[in-house]
Homo-oligomer: A and B are copies of this chain.
């Protein structure tokens, strides 16, 4: 039975050329999947894939359409927070029957949907990963998951402890807002890209401080990549930072998580895998 996957852009725009590459890969290797790129993926206005109202309408349309089995966010880059809260009251019964997949800025919507117990949010590679060298592997991982494979799951997931995965900045911005899900009992995985080491430390201060009283099962640190060079070295690496802040806040540091802004980014279904 064919599964139909709607693709929309709550944050920044994609290109038709790269969409065609992703569609071709899916057609060649996943006969049971049908990808439908919403035209809104290619809209642009300033930073965003179209105005807030256009991005909102496309997401709600995809989520509410009973013909779709999943909504795949095409790309991150910032913008989902501008539509997330407005989207919530517009989501109907069909929105509850779906998987929602993405990462980075799309984590804003995953977090809100998880908080609202709507569908199954999944941290997973996005169509935009086709742009990375070897990015077919990342795209294929999500397509495989959508087709029913568990091969791409993050390896520490044990099937008994609920989990969630976020870009560190994205989670930091959700903390304390009305979008923040209840992560009690969860293993929380975080990854970061293109932030100075001092900024990573600052984000870990904030996130561990906010999660200190949330009763999470522990923190796993994904990859912290493409760190810009500062005028001086920070003095310790990201794992030492995570250990420091977990220690200060009484959060269990559980080691590495196999997620990141790269082609090896693994799949983390929110809750139990």
Contacts and interface: CB of A to CB of B under 8 A. Distances in A.
B78 A198 contact: yes
Given A230-B47, A234-B47, A78 B176 contact: no
Interface stretch (A23-31, A202-210, A253-261): A202-210
The 9 residue pairs across chains A and B that have the minimum distance between CB atoms: A46-B235, A177-B209, A176-B176, A176-B210, A173-B206, A78-B198, A81-B205, A47-B234, A175-B176
A217 interface: no
Max chain B CB contacts within 10 Å: which of A48, A173, A176, A232? A176
Given A46-B234, A234-B47, A177 B81 contact: no
A223 interface: no
Contacts of A209: 176-179
A45 to B, nearest CB: 6
Interface string A146-187: 000000000000000000000001001111111100000000
B232 A47 contact: yes
Nearest to A208: B177
A198 B47 contact: yes
Nearest to A48: B235
A177 B206 contact: yes
Contacts of A177: 205-206, 209-210, 212
Contacts of A233: 46-47
Max chain B CB contacts within 10 Å: which of A82, A179, A209? A209
Contact of A78 (B175, B201, B248): B201
Contacts of A252: none
Contacts of A203: 173
17 contacts: A45-B235, A46-B232, A47-B230, A47-B234, A47-B235, A78-B201, A82-B201, A82-B205, A85-B248, A173-B203, A173-B206, A176-B176, A176-B206, A176-B209, A178-B209, A178-B212, A179-B209
A251 to B, nearest CB: 13
A230 B194 CA distance: 14
